[in-house]
Structure 1
Amino acid sequence: MMNAYLHRSESRGHVKMGWLESKHSFSFGNWYDPKHMGISALRVINDDLIAGHQGFGQHPHDNMEILTCVLKGTITHKDSMGNHGGIAAGEWQLMSAGTGIQHSEMNQGDEQVHLLQIWIIPNERNAEPTYQQIKCDPREQPNQWHLIVGPNANAPMHIRQNAEVKTAFIEKGQSLEVKAVQHINYVHVISGAVQIDEHTVNAGDAIAFVDAAQMKALEDTQVIWFDLPEKIQ
């Protein structure tokens, strides 16, 4: 039996303000819980629903690695580096804010957009801002891990932290191994449900552990796996 920390969906902050409905895994904005301030370098996982013709107007960020995973619809990005375009379902965006950027994320369509916004604390401060974007829909190649970001140059998108982010779509009854290269495993279930050791982890739940483990899908399931350093560097 492994030693694990289970973070249930119902313990997330739930914020609804007109056009935006968001569930915060960790303290964010007006929702604060001292028990949920992040884990290792992972500081934010916001599960956002954005109404049509609404979104986040231009605002600044610095010294944060900001990863966006679009699950449904298309969000339109614009920033002070000159990047402007859509990020559609199955696509991922990484902004390394560095010394500072201004950006906006707007839903220009009629239908609701569903996305995850993830913040990871960098191990390098005041670096030059960068923008990266890839397509990776794990449903197209199920039952395997897909690397999204990593610290090495050969990763699809390069992050300024000793961390990896992977995703998978696991068909019911199939299993994948979870074994950290860095130190801490943090698995967030986007949809479906998995069994890890004696723990059932449902949609919106997450589980943190340091041992290797087999993860079995109890139904068709999409997960995101953070391989995190023991300490923020």
Structure 2
Amino acid sequence: MTTYLHHSEDRGHVKMGWLDTKHSFSFGSWYNPKFMGVGSLRVINDDTIAAHNGFGTHSHDNMEILTCVLSGTISHKDSMGNERHITAGEWQLMSAGTGVQHSEINNGDIPVHMLQIWIIPNEQNAEPNYQQIMRDPKQNPNEWNLIVGPDASAPMHIRQNAEVKAAYLEKGHSLEVKATQQFNYVHVIEGEIDIAGQTVKAGDALLFDDVSTLTANADSQFIWFDLTR
């Protein structure tokens, strides 16, 4: 595998009224054949949703949809009967399976900043499922925080041979990255890190080989995707 740095400025930027979003991979009206995903990782959308706005009821199927709220609170309602609020530091995994309708609305007075992540499942037309946890890496700095995984030991179970881990690394601290699958992909939310001979800044992401050490040049938050094809 070759190391590849995906620069923040190469993301698609779409701004339409209440939504300001940056797409790491082709999505909706933004298409670039160079950026179609990494392995089973298909979408990373960096969304800012204005107050009292959001995504009305819409449908998904056969996709593992992971939401990470960075600031504010998003209100979720779906056809499985779930009505939940997802606040900063919380994660939601909606396994769409045979099909789900849902809405995501910012009912608050401040913008919501969140990441929406789609991973292609390895099981088709399964029963839809909803999971939600509080796992704020800033409360457990300088270590990996497992978010989802393929077995029951993970806080949330995903229908794919993949793990997603998050970390908040204080300046000067390091973490080891050792993959169990074919692809390593680290997306930086804030700060700046050095890994595999590359400097990776906020909004950047790096695809790299299976073992490396990651060092923070500033206080940094990021997500590590350990992925299969």
Give unpaired runs (5+ residues) of structure 1.
Answer: none
The residue that corresponds to 1:100 in the other structure is: 99
The residue that corresponds to 2:204 in the other structure is: 205
The residue that corresponds to 1:28 in the other structure is: 27
Give SS of 1:43's match: strand
User: 1:85 deviation in Å?
Assistant: 1.6
The residue that corresponds to 2:219 in the other structure is: 220
User: 1:214 deviation in Å?
Assistant: 0.4
Q: Which amino acid aligns with 1:105?
A: E
The residue that corresponds to 2:112 in the other structure is: 113
Q: Which amino acid aligns with 2:162?
A: A
Give SS of 2:138's match: helix
Separation in structure 2 between the aligned mates of residue 223 and residue 176 of structure 1, nearest angstrom? 12
Q: Which amino acid aligns with 1:211?
A: D
2:14–2:20 CA contact under 8 A, matched in 1: yes
Confirm whether residue 170 of structure 1 aligns to residue 155 of structure 2. Answer: no
In the TM superposition, 1:4-23 aligns within 5 A as 4-23=3-22
User: 1:61 deviation in Å?
Assistant: 0.2
User: 1:3 deviation in Å?
Assistant: 3.6
Give the paired residue count.
229
Give SS of 2:114's match: strand
User: 1:209 deviation in Å?
Assistant: 1.3
2:179–2:226 CA contact under 8 A, matched in 1: yes
Task: Point out 4+ residue stretches in structure 1 off by more than 4 angstroms.
Answer: none
RMSD between superposed Cα atoms in Å: 0.8
Separation in structure 2 between the aligned mates of residue 153 and residue 83 of structure 1, nearest angstrom? 22
Per-residue CA distance 1:56-107 (angstroms, 9 max, x = gap): 0000000000000000000000000000020000000000000000000000
Separation in structure 1 between the aligned mates of residue 117 and residue 72 of structure 2, nearest angstrom? 18
2:196–2:208 CA contact under 8 A, matched in 1: no
The residue that corresponds to 2:127 in the other structure is: 128
Give SS of 2:215's match: strand
Separation in structure 2 between the aligned mates of residue 123 and residue 222 of structure 1, nearest angstrom? 29
The residue that corresponds to 1:196 in the other structure is: 195
TM-score (ref. length: structure 2): 0.99
Confirm whether residue 54 of structure 1 aligns to residue 29 of structure 2. Answer: no
2:62–2:96 CA contact under 8 A, matched in 1: yes
User: 1:179 deviation in Å?
Assistant: 1.0
User: 1:210 deviation in Å?
Assistant: 2.3
Identity of aligned residues (%): 70
